[in-house]
Chain A
Amino acid sequence: MRIDLEPRAGRSLALDIGAPAGALAFAILLGGIVVWLLGKSPAQAFMVYFVQPLMEGWSLQEVAVKACPLVLIAVGLSFCYRANVWNIGAEGQFVIGGLCGGWLGVVTHGGAGQGAIGGWWIVPAMLLLGALGGALYAMLPALLRVWLGVSEILTSLMLVYIAELGLDYLVRGALRDPKGFNFPQSVTFDDAARLPFLAEGERLHAGVALALLAVAAAAFVFARSRFGFEVRLVGEAPRAARFAGFSDARLTIAVFAISGALAGLAGICEVSGQIGQLVPTISPGYGFTAIIVAFLGRLSPFGILLAGLVLALTYIGGEAAQVALKLPNDMTRAFQGILLMCVLMADAAARYKIRLVSGSGA
């Protein structure tokens, strides 16, 4: 007995939409079993996770705010993954982006550098520094791969821990608030160093608009530009891409730069828009969750927007479930892992027919 995977003749729209939707439904079912094994009511958990956050205005905004970093990062990752470049380290690029941009927030604390020209330049400069920091940090795995053939999967993943510990070190050391009673955190940023809110008194900050902008820009690049054509071609048929005259090395560096920059931008948006200071941990794993978002969205920008909202829901619902059902926070991460497995399986099922063959064959 063996299992054969036969490529399907064509890709249909029904399968393209049905596969991720089916994967989500199946993951919810499996998640329900886990909840049931924990001795809680799966139906109640479903309500808390997936229905209640959608019922109120404030929690809807909260979903959008959580989706913002996920979408920004996942749009960047879609460039890498479409080109068969495996950047697993968006979490690290997120942290470095937050750190670089956040540094400016720390040094301009208390009106420093805002005298003659005012503070209008601080937020744009922070965003720029964040994107730049993320992109440069992503150059480490990119250049190692291009020059020495080192697997970018390992290097980008390992660099996450270096980034996290680096932030931790600085927040306890050089960037610590001198008047903060030795708590490991920086000064809180001036208002001039905070991302503006989209509307007065609401929770939606300008990062949400940036995420939407990134989705639209990525869709345009994939559909119309030669660069988007290159990325799609390299992923689809690498030999044909070489025949087309596109350089592997240049493309690897470019997609790492884009995804690093977007992850860094997400990092500084989180620090400047949500947290308002540097703390030892600025991400609940957005960089890893965004990998799920990218695949659930089938690496297409608008798909990623939808998938980002779904995964954001699991964060919001997870917090609510801790309170309402006393479910552990690990449940959220377990569910995200289950979801990724289901998405990958559904992808395989959408691309191949699975056949059981009896006998040993030739």
Chain B
Amino acid sequence: MDVLNGQTSIPLLSMRGIVKRFGAFTANDHIDLDARSGEAHALIGENGAGKSTLVKMIYGLLQPTEGTIAVAGEEVRLASPREARARGIGMVFQHFSLFDNLTVAENIALVLPPREGMAGLRARIAAVSERYGMPLEPDREVWSLSAGERQRIEIARCLLADPRLIILDEPTSVLTPQESLRLFETLDRLKGEGRALLYISHKLEEVRRLCESATILRLGKKVGGCDPRAESPRSLAALMVGAQIAEIRAPGERAPGPERIVVENVSILSGEIHGVGLDHVSLSARGGEVVGIAGIAGNGQAEFFEILSGERLAGGDAFIRIDGVPCGALDITRRRLAGAAFVPEERNGHAAAPEFSLSENLVLSRHATAGIVRRGLIDYDRARQLAQAVIAAFDVRKAGPDPAARTLSGGNLQKFVIGREILSQPGVLVVNQPTWGVDAAACAAIRQALVDLAARGAAVLLISQDLDELFEICDRIAVMRQGRLSAPLAVRGTTREEIGLLMAGAAPGETPSHAH
């Protein structure tokens, strides 16, 4: 692999006046961006700001409506990812595209030209892995690897093509804090070789650690550029959102109430090959308490949510009690009647039906508890009133009086879904990833609503991958890993590092073999 040229005055990548329209919608509006060799350039902005659209044009997945892209000073038209790769542009996607049943080497061979033998490939993988400090075992099957290890395969795949510019799309979203640090070391080495990095993230601490320059997008427009090292996370957040974000009002000291939800000994087998089951999971939460469940996605959280909600019944010795009612064998409707409410991770298609109006979506989860069904007939007037109450209380922005759920932005639909459950005055609320893909303002409103609900005496179970969120609003945090749940730790007596180690599978106080 060649050592690339050092910094030059001509930017490696230069975008001028980029516009991308989808029908009437403008996703990118006259955006300029430069990325230089040997530097990491951050692209920051909230979900929906247009970051992904912009990088897809750099990687040839989309073509700009207007504007020019130049690579090393030469104007280019990138009609496909193949052409982008030929120009020395590589991309590491947020979602991995790997075959679980193939080995590391086989997964890498799949994307390379077929002329190379497996033996030569193994040597090259070993070389890349040593050079960049990314341990990779070519003969391991992918299903047995952690998210961090899988990401290394994606990065190695990208590096074998010797790219001059590497695009990384939210690379730490699936990593533990320790794995993220290792990733940054690799990225520092890539920078040191004179490669350019384009780093997409909304985690501002990371951007400040890694990047020399940044482009900030808001609602498809470039609202500024800066040197992130000279900014604070708060000032960066203000640039990104365009307003100051309200801080969560701390719940203050609360006397813990009675146990409102008790879960004991839940074990299920996974239905899928390489899937995750649950292994003797127990947990309880008292009124007035927010209990967090941390963990990297895919470690059993989705299954645990289904068990709690009753969408799936746990057999065996499992025991679930909600406000004194044994619920292990009850369906979701009966659990709602016992005083529980649930917010699943996926808004569209699970928490809400996209084509249904907001009032119909209110009927969806509250038909049994809100007195809107009489003799099998739905009182839609009453449903509309209740939906309006949610809309008013949670400041849901929408077009028209009762629009289809699909027309709302992610943040607004999530506020509606959470408000729908909170206004049912539940004694127990179980939420899964409530602020995933939600804009900062809605995110703050949702967290505040969860804290307020607990302050009124409810027990809140919060399943989240976002450690910032968990530390902001939880009283206790347990960690789920490979279907097992750790004992909950009081937030005031623990640290992110300790939770991070539990997420990576080490017992507290013990250092995992690969952590630094």
Once the chains bind, are B81 and A243 in contact (CB under 8 Å)? no
Set B23, B336, B353, B377: member contacting A245, Cβ < 8 A: B336
How many angstroms between the C-alpha atoms of A244 and B353 in the bound complex?
10
Which of A225, A229, A362 has the most CB atoms of chain B within a 10 A radius of its CB?
Answer: A362
Instruction: Look across to chain B and name the residue whose beta carbon is closest to the beta carbon of A238.
Output: B349
Task: Tally B residues with Cβ within 8 Å of A.
Answer: 36
Q: Is A3 an interface residue (CB 8 A)?
A: no
Return the CB mask of B288-330 against A: 1 if under 8 Å, else 0.
Answer: 0000000000000000000001010000000000000000000
Once the chains bind, are A359 and B79 in contact (CB under 8 Å)? yes
Set A11, A227, A361: member contacting B81, Cβ < 8 A: A361
Return the CB mask of B337-376 against A: 1 if under 8 Å, else 0.
Answer: 0000010101001111111100010011101100001001
Set A224, A236, A243: member contacting B378, Cβ < 8 A: A224
- Total A-B pairs, Cβ < 8 A: 78
From known contacts A240-B364, A361-B81, A362-B81, infer whether A226 and B378 are also in contact, taking CB-CB under 8 Å.
yes
Set A225, A243, A244, A360: member contacting B377, Cβ < 8 A: A225
Set B79, B82, B350, B356: member contacting A243, Cβ < 8 A: B350
Once the chains bind, are A224 and B365 in contact (CB under 8 Å)? no
Instruction: Look across to chain A and name the residue whose beta carbon is closest to the beta carbon of B347.
Output: A240
How many angstroms between the C-alpha atoms of A360 and B80 in the bound complex?
8
Interchain residue pairs A-B with the least CB separation, the first 5: A245-B333, A237-B353, A359-B80, A245-B332, A239-B350
Set A226, A240, A361: member contacting B367, Cβ < 8 A: A226
Q: Is B402 an interface residue (CB 8 A)?
A: no
Q: Is A30 an interface residue (CB 8 A)?
A: no
Hey, which chain B residues are within 8 Å of A237, CB to CB?
349-350, 352-356
Q: Is A146 an interface residue (CB 8 A)?
A: no
Hey, which chain B residues are within 8 Å of A225, CB to CB?
376-378
Can you report 9 A-B residue pairs in the complex whose CB atoms are below 8 A from each other? A225-B378, A226-B373, A229-B367, A232-B356, A237-B353, A237-B354, A240-B350, A243-B332, A245-B336
From known contacts A233-B356, A236-B356, infer whether A243 and B376 are also in contact, taking CB-CB under 8 Å.
no
Once the chains bind, are B80 and A239 in contact (CB under 8 Å)? no
Q: Is B408 an interface residue (CB 8 A)?
A: no
Instruction: Look across to chain B and name the residue whose beta carbon is closest to the beta carbon of A8.
Output: B23
Set B79, B311, B355, B376: member contacting A242, Cβ < 8 A: B311
Q: Is B395 an interface residue (CB 8 A)?
A: no
Q: Is B139 an interface residue (CB 8 A)?
A: no
Once the chains bind, are A236 and B309 in contact (CB under 8 Å)? no
Once the chains bind, are A240 and B353 in contact (CB under 8 Å)? yes
Q: Is B185 an interface residue (CB 8 A)?
A: no
Hey, which chain B residues are within 8 Å of A243, CB to CB?
309, 311, 332, 342, 344, 350-351, 364-365
From known contacts A225-B377, A226-B373, A243-B309, infer whether A233 and B364 are also in contact, taking CB-CB under 8 Å.
yes
Q: Is A9 an interface residue (CB 8 A)?
A: yes
How many angstroms between the C-alpha atoms of A359 and B82 in the bound complex?
9
How many angstroms between the C-alpha atoms of A163 and B195 in the bound complex?
73
How many angstroms between the C-alpha atoms of A9 and B377 in the bound complex?
31
Q: Is B70 an interface residue (CB 8 A)?
A: no
From known contacts A226-B377, A240-B352, infer whether A245 and B360 are also in contact, taking CB-CB under 8 Å.
no
From known contacts A239-B346, A359-B80, infer whether A244 and B364 are also in contact, taking CB-CB under 8 Å.
yes
Once the chains bind, are B79 and A236 in contact (CB under 8 Å)? no
Q: Is B449 an interface residue (CB 8 A)?
A: no
Interface residues of A (CB under 8 A from B): 9-11, 224-227, 229, 232-233, 236-237, 239-240, 242-245, 247, 358-362
How many angstroms between the C-alpha atoms of A239 and B365 in the bound complex?
12
Hey, which chain A residues are within 8 Å of B82, CB to CB?
359-360
How many angstroms between the C-alpha atoms of A236 and B405 in the bound complex?
12
Kindly provide the distance from the CB of B392 to the nearest chain A CB, expressed in whole angstroms. 24
Instruction: Look across to chain A and name the residue whose beta carbon is closest to the beta carbon of B354.
Output: A237
How many angstroms between the C-alpha atoms of A132 and B228 in the bound complex?
74
Q: Is B75 an interface residue (CB 8 A)?
A: no
Hey, which chain B residues are within 8 Å of A11, CB to CB?
355
Q: Is B33 an interface residue (CB 8 A)?
A: no
Hey, which chain A residues are within 8 Å of B80, CB to CB?
359-362
How many angstroms between the C-alpha atoms of A227 and B373 in the bound complex?
11
How many angstroms between the C-alpha atoms of A236 and B378 in the bound complex?
18
Instruction: Look across to chain B and name the residue whose beta carbon is closest to the beta carbon of A233.
Output: B353
Hey, which chain A residues are within 8 Å of B373, CB to CB?
226
How many angstroms between the C-alpha atoms of A240 and B349 in the bound complex?
6
How many angstroms between the C-alpha atoms of A351 and B378 in the bound complex?
29
How many angstroms between the C-alpha atoms of A233 and B353 in the bound complex?
7
How many angstroms between the C-alpha atoms of A229 and B407 in the bound complex?
20
Hey, which chain B residues are within 8 Å of A232, CB to CB?
356
Q: Is B61 an interface residue (CB 8 A)?
A: yes
Q: Is B66 an interface residue (CB 8 A)?
A: no
Kindly provide the distance from the CB of A240 to the nearest chain B CB, expressed in whole angstroms. 5
Once the chains bind, are B377 and A224 in contact (CB under 8 Å)? yes
Hey, which chain A residues are within 8 Å of B336, CB to CB?
245
Hey, which chain B residues are within 8 Å of A224, CB to CB?
377-378, 380
Once the chains bind, are A244 and B367 in contact (CB under 8 Å)? yes
How many angstroms between the C-alpha atoms of A240 and B309 in the bound complex?
13
Q: Is B497 an interface residue (CB 8 A)?
A: no
Once the chains bind, are B378 and A245 in contact (CB under 8 Å)? no
Kindly provide the distance from the CB of B330 to the nearest chain A CB, expressed in whole angstroms. 10
Which of B309, B350, B368 has the most CB atoms of chain A within a 10 A radius of its CB?
Answer: B350
Once the chains bind, are A240 and B351 in contact (CB under 8 Å)? yes
Hey, which chain B residues are within 8 Å of A359, CB to CB?
79-80, 82
Instruction: Look across to chain B and name the residue whose beta carbon is closest to the beta carbon of A357.
Output: B80
Hey, which chain B residues are within 8 Å of A362, CB to CB?
61, 80-81
Q: Is B331 an interface residue (CB 8 A)?
A: yes
How many angstroms between the C-alpha atoms of A360 and B111 in the bound complex?
14
Hey, which chain B residues are within 8 Å of A358, CB to CB?
79
Kindly provide the distance from the CB of B367 to the nearest chain A CB, expressed in whole angstroms. 6
How many angstroms between the C-alpha atoms of A244 and B378 in the bound complex?
14
Instruction: Look across to chain B and name the residue whose beta carbon is closest to the beta carbon of A6.
Output: B22
Instruction: Look across to chain A and name the residue whose beta carbon is closest to the beta carbon of B25.
Output: A9
Hey, which chain A residues are within 8 Å of B344, CB to CB?
243
Instruction: Look across to chain B and name the residue whose beta carbon is closest to the beta carbon of A9.
Output: B23
How many angstroms between the C-alpha atoms of A43 and B82 in the bound complex?
54
Instruction: Look across to chain B and name the residue whose beta carbon is closest to the beta carbon of A232.
Output: B356
How many angstroms between the C-alpha atoms of A362 and B85 in the bound complex?
10
Hey, which chain B residues are within 8 Å of A229, CB to CB?
360, 363, 367, 378
Kindly provide the distance from the CB of A16 to the nearest chain B CB, expressed in whole angstroms. 13
Instruction: Look across to chain B and name the residue whose beta carbon is closest to the beta carbon of A240.
Output: B353
Which of A245, A247, A358 has the most CB atoms of chain B within a 10 A radius of its CB?
Answer: A245
From known contacts A243-B309, A243-B365, infer whether A226 and B332 are also in contact, taking CB-CB under 8 Å.
no
Once the chains bind, are B355 and A236 in contact (CB under 8 Å)? yes
How many angstroms between the C-alpha atoms of A242 and B377 in the bound complex?
20
| 15 more CB-based (< 8 A) A-B contacts, given A225-B378, A243-B342, A243-B344 | A9-B23, A224-B377, A224-B378, A229-B378, A233-B353, A233-B364, A236-B355, A237-B353, A240-B350, A240-B353, A243-B350, A244-B367, A245-B336, A247-B331, A362-B61
Instruction: Look across to chain A and name the residue whose beta carbon is closest to the beta carbon of B374.
Output: A226
Kindly provide the distance from the CB of B94 to the nearest chain A CB, expressed in whole angstroms. 14
How many angstroms between the C-alpha atoms of A239 and B353 in the bound complex?
9
Within 8 A of A (CB), among B29-61: 61
Instruction: Look across to chain A and name the residue whose beta carbon is closest to the beta carbon of B335.
Output: A245
How many angstroms between the C-alpha atoms of A227 and B368 in the bound complex?
13
Within 8 A of A (CB), among B364-401: 364-365, 367-368, 373, 376-378, 380
Hey, which chain A residues are within 8 Å of B356, CB to CB?
232-233, 236-237
How many angstroms between the C-alpha atoms of A227 and B81 in the bound complex?
49
